[in-house]
Structure 1
Amino acid sequence: MITTRPAAPASATGTAHRPVLAVVCVALATVVAAVASLNVAIPSVARDLHASQTQLAWVIDAYALVFAALLLLGGAIGDRYGRRRALLAGLAVFGAGSAAAMAVSDPAWLIAMRAVLGVGAALVMPATLSTITGTFPDTQKARAVGTWAGVAGASAILGLFASGLLLEVWSWRAVFGLNVALAAVAFVATLRVIPESADPDAPRLDVGGALISVAGLGLLVYSIIEAPTAGWTSARTVLGLIAGVLVLAGFVRWESRRADPLLDPALFGHRAFAAGTLSLTMQFFAFFGFIFLVLQYLQWVHHDSPLVAALSLIPMALAMMPFARILAPRLAETVGASRVVPAGLVLGATGLVVLAQLDATSGYWLLLAGLLPLGSGMGLAMTPATAAVTDALPVDKQGVGSAMNDLSRELGGALGIAVLGSVLQSNYRGGLDFSAGMHDALLAGAGTVLAAAIAVAVLLRRR
């Protein structure tokens, strides 16, 4: 049964909301930046640890795989045992894993530590958004969610910049040192500022559903990540995708029979919820696919250093934040999310079309002309899409709602890197230069986002 979330109770609407928002944004930035920050350090890791190409790929992907697979469970743990406890536990695991990663001398151990970081991140990220939606009053919630959405998008780019800066003076180990410092700051601030939300009368954790979801999401994300290497039509990829879908179908069947499900399957019949998850998935499909391609373009084609490559992308983050925090909530309130979300997706697709024109002779102005609409469009679409997902659930299920929001982002990111990377590789191996392969990949991404804009407009249309 679908329920709408009531307003936060009066006891939860105190005056200390700004510190709460600041702390959850630091925690959020800590785990989101780690998704992409190590990309610029891969050459340094390869030289230092003598890692193979497969090992290098899994240094990046182990984090994303574990992160995505455990998100629903992490959100449910926060709902059941308290979001403050989930934040503290996740930050502790994330910080300890990062400290251990600084000392490794073997690529297999680095992969294992990145997986540990994914465990911590799966506890942290859902708790950050659910803390906002569960405690902020309605008058402040839209802007707070907008700030969260902007930080969630911009942190990946800022993480690249911070990593590039650190690599100028130290090795790849500095990237993990930054993780430790941010996690420690967020941990102490959480102890001082974040209120506890544990409910002694909350329903028991659906352990069976949690384990099934972890297995299904793990199979699905693993198969997507490995598809460019194994081939999209290979038996391993096809069977892995089929197995993941079947296990997730079993999860839906399991949840539909429970009185207190981990995730109510009926939610996907809620048009706003379905539109929000689709929009977020496609936004991050384009975003992380683009980041994956453009970092290679800037470093291999333009021969930029990691720091210069990261600096080149900062305007996208600067455009994203004001649109997500200020403009999107205002427009959604005045003209409705049914217009704002599709408009943001169309604007983002326009940016991808512009970026597809980049080649070996392009100047920075063409890159900037694509970055600004891409960042603005994502900022415009993210906030109302995020609100649509969380507003479909009551306060005591905000952790799961937040996890579903985060899962949409992670699945979209993994799919974007795999699909757009495959388009690039198929053309690159066919004898075309890198720019031509990137052109086709970004046009494919733009077409996918435009199709999503149409679908979201239909789902959100006024009856």
Structure 2
Amino acid sequence: MSAPPSETAHGTVPENVYRRRWVILGALMLSLLIVVLDNSILNVAMKTIAQPAPTGLGAGQSELEWSVNSYTLVFAGLLFTAGLLGDRLGRRRVLLFGLAVFGAGSVCAALATSPGQLVAFRAVMGLGGAFVMPATLAILMNVFERDEQPKAIGIWAGGVGLGIAIGPVTGGVLLEHFWWGSVFLVNVPIVLVALAAMVLLVPESRDPRPGRLDPPGVLLSIAGLVLLVYGIIKGGQLADFTDPEVLLTGGGGLAVLVVFVLHERRSDHPAIDVSYFRNPAFSAAVAAIALVFFALMGVTFFAVFYMQSVRGFTALEAGLLMVPLAVSQLIFAPRARLAVDRFGAKAVCATGMTGIAAGMAAFLLFGRTTPIWALEVVFFVQGTAMAHIMPPATVSIMQSLPREKAGSGSAVNNTFRQVGGAMGVAVLGSLLSARYREGIEGHLRSLPLPEGVRHAAGESIEGTLALASRLGPAGRQLVDPAKDAFIGAMHVTVLGSAAVALLGAVVVAVWLPGRPRTEGTHGQPPEPEDAAKPPVGAGR
């Protein structure tokens, strides 16, 4: 699809591609939406999947966790490799492969007959998602010129927020009318439409000079990320990050990643040029994304239980309550570039991080009877703050790299986001669990229960309420203490989350670029020096 130089009126983007760039963005958003949507849908389906057949699969707490974690483990472990393959083999080709695998995994997950099968098929979906997510952003960078990239990335980031928020609503509607497998089967028609749109609309693009392969670097990155994420997940499950298994896997993953960095520094054909991290704009933006998702994912994890288990809302109602989170991102994410133009990426991102911290701290005021409008205001504030972090941070990352390395840059962006989110769920989730157990333990010990039953009931508010339901009238005395213990644990957890968000504010305030130095760059560093390389068109 490459256009000859005479037909290229818009820098490095061929004219025929430039004319349909916004339609291409719509196709990319569709591909992105199903990956984000599916994970947020699953959150509201957990209670249903835990119920005995035929309503659910009778999954236990550990099996429910691994239905999420198996996806996360494969997804995070392969993101970097998928981005590299996109740069080398073609981003559209890699995206089509990812969509097909994701769709097939969704069908199998919907038809699973046991928790073990569901865990396995979720891993297959993670494989597909790893090839979809980085390719969408990489293609975006190759169909938009530099001056329009901030606006396009803002819309892309708004799509992520939209998927996070409408997932619970969609899941709630499906669970009210269909069986639990419908939350996975709904992906299939979207995948088919996205595949057709990719084939018809999206041009192929790749690095025209990829160099030699770096198999040792690729293998080290996969091993390091898988071990690290597994250690984080296991630490959250055990609520003990000093457990030998956690230290061996998580510490081993960090050690392997150190070896990976050393290997990349010495290689004459590295999988990723680690010198990119010497750029303060690149490193600070990567850290900002990791920290904001650490703070937000942990809170999203317990907000669902607060709304459903403490306040008594249904899955659909809880999903609807999260709509302000999506609305605010849809409004402000595409416009974040205007704030960056006026105040600079440093001020905008630091203010956004501070807004996230303030939203977290607001949960300290929440109890069993707090007016629900207050929760809506907090969600709107958090969505607005996130809309002023993700677009400028992503622009800083992507515009710090040459365009032909867009897949690698997107993979780094998404890898740190995923690892940060996994750490948030694990660390904040384990803190929530530990404090909840402290609050409910005395009430559980007042009942004549076997030790195993008591331990399981103390893991979460869902476990306690399930026990109370089985005990009948005798279990009613557990309901109010369980809700009070959860609220107390939530208050401690949000303090940790707010502290992480404030740390992110400090990071971006110190290292992210300030006000734009030249018109049209949106506060980002100038185009990387690559004059010796041929122009990279979207059709290459």
What do residues 23-61 of structure 1 show as CA deviations (whole Å, max 9, x unaligned)? 000100111122222111112212222222111110111
Deviation at 1:294, TM superposition (A): 0.4
- For residues 130-141 of structure 1, the aligned pairs below 5 Å read 130-141=138-149
Name the structure where helix makes up a greater proportion of residues: 1
Matched, 1:429 2:457: no
Deviation at 1:138, TM superposition (A): 2.1
Matched, 1:77 2:85: yes
What do residues 377-429 of structure 1 show as CA deviations (whole Å, max 9, x unaligned)? 00011100001111111111100100111112111111111111112112111
The secondary structure found in structure 1 opposite 2:379 is helix
Answer with 365-374 or 210-219: which moved more: 365-374
In 1, distance between residues paired with 2:332 and 2:380? 11
Q: Does the 8 Å CA contact 1:13/1:137 hold for their aligned counterparts?
A: no
The secondary structure found in structure 2 opposite 1:430 is helix
What do residues 70-94 of structure 1 show as CA deviations (whole Å, max 9, x unaligned)? 0000101110011110110000000
What number of residue pairs does the alignment pair up?
A: 457
Matched, 1:225 2:233: yes
Q: Does the 8 Å CA contact 2:13/2:144 hold for their aligned counterparts?
A: no
What is the aligned partner in structure 1 of residue 269 from structure 2?
A: 260
In 2, distance between residues paired with 1:391 and 1:263? 16
In 2, distance between residues paired with 1:364 and 1:403? 38
In 2, distance between residues paired with 1:367 and 1:246? 42
- For residues 409-420 of structure 1, the aligned pairs below 5 Å read 409-420=417-428
In 1, distance between residues paired with 2:271 and 2:179? 42
In 2, distance between residues paired with 1:166 and 1:242? 41
In 1, distance between residues paired with 2:12 and 2:330? 26
Matched, 1:443 2:451: no
In 2, distance between residues paired with 1:359 and 1:71? 39
What is the aligned partner in structure 1 of residue 443 from structure 2?
A: none
Matched, 1:384 2:392: yes
Matched, 1:176 2:161: no
In 2, distance between residues paired with 1:461 and 1:199? 28
What is the aligned partner in structure 1 of residue 19 from structure 2?
A: 15
Deviation at 1:243, TM superposition (A): 0.4
Q: Does the 8 Å CA contact 1:12/1:135 hold for their aligned counterparts?
A: no
Deviation at 1:345, TM superposition (A): 0.6
Q: Which amino acid aligns with 1:94?
A: F
- Structure with higher Rg: it is 2
Unaligned runs of 5+ in 1: 1-5
Deviation at 1:106, TM superposition (A): 1.4
Q: Does the 8 Å CA contact 1:35/1:63 hold for their aligned counterparts?
A: no
Among the aligned pairs, what percent are the same residue? 39
Q: Does the 8 Å CA contact 1:8/1:136 hold for their aligned counterparts?
A: no
Q: Which amino acid aligns with 2:20?
A: A
Q: Which amino acid aligns with 1:163?
A: G
Deviation at 1:323, TM superposition (A): 1.5
In 2, distance between residues paired with 1:351 and 1:417? 17
Go from structure 1 to structure 2 and tell me whether the alpha carbon gap of 1:32 and 1:7 turns closer, same or farther (over 3 Å shift). Answer: farther
Deviation at 1:20, TM superposition (A): 0.4
- Return the match for 1:317 from 326, 341, 345: 326
Go from structure 1 to structure 2 and tell me whether the alpha carbon gap of 1:347 and 1:203 turns closer, same or farther (over 3 Å shift). Answer: same
- Return the match for 2:278 from 263, 269, 274: 269
What is the aligned partner in structure 2 of residue 103 from structure 1?
A: 111
Q: Which amino acid aligns with 1:395?
A: R
For normalisation by structure 1, the TM-score amounts to: 0.95
- For residues 169-248 of structure 1, the aligned pairs below 5 Å read 169-199=177-207, 201-230=209-238, 231-248=240-257
The secondary structure found in structure 1 opposite 2:28 is helix
Answer with 134-143 or 440-449: which moved more: 134-143
Answer with 151-160 or 91-100: which moved more: 151-160
Q: Which amino acid aligns with 2:491?
A: H
CA RMSD, aligned part only?
Answer: 1.6
For normalisation by structure 2, the TM-score amounts to: 0.82
The secondary structure found in structure 1 opposite 2:165 is helix
In 1, distance between residues paired with 2:128 and 2:345? 33
In 2, distance between residues paired with 1:239 and 1:161? 40
Q: Does the 8 Å CA contact 2:292/2:504 hold for their aligned counterparts?
A: no
What is the aligned partner in structure 2 of residue 345 from structure 1?
A: 353
Q: Does the 8 Å CA contact 2:76/2:419 hold for their aligned counterparts?
A: yes
Unaligned runs of 5+ in 2: 1-9, 441-484, 516-540
